[in-house]
Amino acid sequence: MRGRPTAATLADVPFLSNFERAIGLTDQYPYAEITDYLAVKRTMEKQVFETLPYFDVVNFSERAHGTALFSTGLMDTVAPPSTVFAT
């Protein structure tokens, strides 16, 4: 670990997680950017969904240690609750 360890984390509606599920649940931005891109670049779907996991916030959870408190809006159309639960 570099620097000082984090004592606690408060993630108020984390998003950019579980991209494939999110674009199936909502047409709101920022997830709509993916569908907009794929509407123009139809042959890139495989590459897009192989690349997006590098940016999925769930991949950073292994590096986090300590207490965390997460929240979500149960009717949130921008960050659907089931994508937040993945975090």
- Rounded to whole angstroms, what are the CA distances from 47 to 5, 35, 42, 64, 79? 36, 14, 11, 28, 23
Angstrom distance (rounded) from CA 26 to CA 76: 9
Q: Which tens digits make up the pLDDT trace of 60-78? A: 777 777 888 888 888 888 8
Q: Are strands 8-12 and 67-71 parallel, antiparallel or unpaired?
A: parallel
| pTM > 0.85: yes or no | no
Q: What's the confidence (pLDDT) of residue 40? A: 97
